[in-house]
């Protein structure tokens, strides 16, 4: 089954994403910031990354830039799951390598639809 890495400094958001995805049969890895996420992605390359933007230690933009420079995870889809909805930020994220964007609060179906669309099973 496909593995999804969820990177968010909020334990409740990580838990909700995990419950939604595991319920659909995905394996979920959790990280609490970009630095943690980068280490986990290198150790166990995921099939999809869902990340927050605003996090301590390493924010989402720096995280995806670092992830895109990591050969083991080249081409892995990355979706931002964030409260931000600014078009300039969306463009910056796309330029950094983001594949998609979901704005919080979100519906579980949005996460499932993104995973189904982006993950090769």
CATH number, domain with residue 70: 3.40.50.2300
Total domains in the chain come to 1
| Domain housing 27 | 3-118
Q: How far apart are CA 1 and CA 12, in angstroms?
A: 24
Q: What is the full per-residue pLDDT of the chain (121 aa) written as tens digits? A: 899 999 999 999 999 999 999 999 999 999 999 999 999 999 999 999 999 988 899 899 999 999 999 988 888 999 998 887 788 888 888 888 899 898 888 899 999 999 999 997 5
Could you tell me which of 9, 20, 38, 3 has the C-alpha nearest to residue 106? 20
CA distance 84 to 5: 20
Cβ atoms of 121 and 10 within 8 Å: the answer is: no
- Alpha helix locations (H) across 1-121? 11-23, 34-43, 60-68, 87-96, 108-118
Tokens at 90, concatenated: 């969306």
Backbone torsions φ then ψ of 30, nearest 5 degrees: -120, 145
């Amino acid at each position: 089954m496909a593995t999804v890495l969820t990177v968010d400094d909020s334990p409740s958001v990580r838990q909700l994403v995990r419950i939604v995805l595991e319920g659909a049969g995905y394996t979920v890895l959790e990280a609490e910031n970009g630095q943690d996420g980068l280490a986990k992605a290198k150790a166990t390359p995921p099939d999809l990354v869902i990340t927050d933007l605003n996090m301590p230690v390493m924010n989402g933009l720096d995280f995806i830039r670092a992830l895109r420079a990591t050969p083991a995870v080249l081409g892995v889809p990355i979706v931002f799951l964030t409260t931000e909805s600014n078009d300039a930020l969306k463009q910056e994220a796309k330029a950094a390598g983001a594949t998609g964007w979901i704005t919080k609060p979100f519906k579980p179906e949005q996460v499932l639809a993104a995973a189904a669309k982006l993950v090769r099973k």
